Structure 1
Amino acid sequence: MTRVLVVDDSQFMRTVIGNALSEADYDVETATNGTEAIEAATTYDPDVVTMDVEMPELGGIDAVERIMATNPALILMLSVHTEDGAEATLDALERGAVDFLHKPDGSDSRTVADLSNEVVEKVDELADANSSSIALARAAASVHATRTTTSDVTDRAVAGGETGPEPAVGSGGPGGTRTRQGGSGSDVGIDLEIDETADHAGARPAAEFDLGDIELESEDAIAPTVVIGASTGGPKIVEELFERLPIGLDATVLVVQHMPAEFTDRFAKRLDARSEYDVREATDGESVVPGEAVVAPGDSHLAVDDDDGGRLRVRLDDSDRIHGVRPAIDVTMETAAEQVDGPLCGVVLTGMGRDGAAGIEAISAAGGHTIAQDEATSPVFGIPCQAIETGCVDVVAPATGLVEAIVDAFDTDGETDD
């Protein structure tokens, strides 16, 4: 039986959430603060933890870091609907939590009963998700602790757990080699050392090389466009990707992270602070140029309307949810495939569901390059797995190999190593 640890300083919240989970046939333990949570995690070794953010003695953020370093689990944060709550939740996600839910605060019609139902649904999803890679979160917590004492963040490593059976991986999908208008785009001009130990049959492994010396070959090179899509467990992976994405690639980057509207602006600011790229939340009708990145606002689809010589014009769309989400990765990837004239790369990261699979197919059909995060380093392997199963993923890469795979995509001019 799946064991869930419910952590909250409110006896009422512990009782309501705990009873709902017990009625759903989960084995439930409780703790009243972060200190008790750490002890309970050691004693009971829970599969899933629901963690309040603000608690006396030791808060949820520090408790997440300690639990992920000693007894890793899938942690779901419960946060208040405020700006400070959003920042604290993003901190918790960085330290190893995989998802979050808002506590009702009277600003809408949601009740504690609604929250309880949402917690049960989310725990159901997390319990069904691939958790063999829990060492990923343990390494993330360790890395965060290291980063607080050193300014060197470029050599960080994320450890993967044991992998399950590998899915069949396409090596370019139907039609084989593809080349988009504009050729290789950024022609980085570097030597690649290929990792021959990659386990994914049929997929090119991510290359290993120094990202510091990447430069566009000429001023006439067409700048590439990168579309990144992620859901559960994604914020931490996206932040790490942006920390290492070289400005010399001169890419235009579009990010779709499944996240409520109150979080995406804060998320964009965090990316901006950690990246050489100019990152902001997207606005309707704006232009995005090489060296810039925009994040799809929560509750709005992000579509590409036009490509004027590498200057992308984007549009926000509040039409129906797709796959139950808005923004949807598919919308951004499919419109990019239709509108972008230059080199294009689609990247799908950890998350639940199948959003992004159709987008990967569209980018592949348009001659773009496609990358999926591997199972071992995906806290939740749903989105990458669904994309891989389309047969249109060119490269499957671990979290630490995503930047190298992106750069390699524009260096190879669509060629494979086969």
Structure 2
Amino acid sequence: MNSPGALAHHLDGIRILDLFAGPGGLDVAAHFLGFRSLGIEWDRNACETRYAAGLPTIHADVSVMRQTRFHEIPESVDVLAGGPPCQSFSVAGTGAGRVALDTVKEFIHRLVSGEDEGEIDQELHALGDPRTALVLEPLRWLLKAIDTEGRDPYNVIVLEQVPTVLPLWEVYAEVLSSGEGRLGGIKYEAACWALKTEQFGVPQTRTRAVLVARRPGHGGITPLEPTHLPFDLYRRKRQATRTAMLPTDAPDAKKPWLSMAEALNAAANIQGSPVNVSRLSTDDEMKFFVVSNYGSGGDPKNRGRRLSSEPAFTVTGKISRNKVYKSTAEYEADKWDRFTIPESGVLQTFPHNFPWSGNDQAQQVGNAVPPRLGMHVLSNALRGDAPSAAELAAATTWPTVPRSTTHELRSIGCGDRSQCPPTSHKVTPVRRTPAP
């Protein structure tokens, strides 16, 4: 990282360090809550989106950053956040992490007890998928802060992952509460939950394992209170009308879950929005259904379906492969459409005009934390309450970012590229066929 003047300007007042930051789900959430964040991300394409969005970023490997460039993290950072890559733990992924779950639990205790990290690394690499080891990086960053002279331990820790990682977060909570070993008596109040995104106003069914930990004196941890009703996947229970789900006048009554049609219509009605769903509407009414790219019930050929009046399937990097049909006739004629990148982002609760950039944009969208869920989690962790209605309403539109800011952030994050991940900026030359 270079340009000290730019650093002082763009990294002033940073409180949150977001490991494995992706295109910025947690950072977008932090922005609308009034907190400044810095992300570390190895994927060049995600970095380009972050630069275009005005999000301070270091293009680097999280592990390398911890080992050799830890001093570059602003001392103002007191919140550690992150969502390690989920592929080895995800049901749709390799499964190496799920198989090694009990082994990884042991590694957590071994790291805290002070065993040689080199030996631990060798054993971790033998697990088959190197991404499995990344779930330990947040703990290693905490231990690094404790071991580094002149640095204070993080006051707040916020982690998220796929639900199969919840047992690991429970072990995290156990060791953070103990203050033992390398923690040197530093203790945290910690709690973890499996949260359904549609219960927090995300128009998508997706479950995330979340951990929140705070140093004593920063307020006790209370469970996140859902704002919306859950979506029941069982077909017989999905037939209930929306009228039957309407909230009562009770002050604690929950809203119905948000549907795809509601979210996309709301985004399309914002002036200047790139979301244009007129192609999905018939007679001025949005009625469509989505056929998933993934199989259902263990049968890869049994493609699940969702109506426009229901939340979306979990938005993954393959969302652009889902087929969208306006009618049964179109389905029978195999005449289908796709969700655009802005539409996919809206289903993740990114602002309608979020500046997706670089390549592999569908993968960026799918890898991200839904910002609306992030707002609820961060607000709970940092303020002990839920985001306000005004904050949630403002989170639909992203501020315009000058090109000069994007250029400056790229210069800070990539510099001369010498410290970026190896080959990440390599461009494969196009082979041109000689003219006959």
What TM-score bracket applies, with the shorter chain setting the length? Answer: under 0.3
The structure whose RCO (Cα within 8 Å, separation 6+) is larger is 2
Specify which structure has the higher proportion of strand: 1
Q: TM-score, normalised by structure 2?
A: 0.25
The structure with the largest alpha-carbon Rg is 2
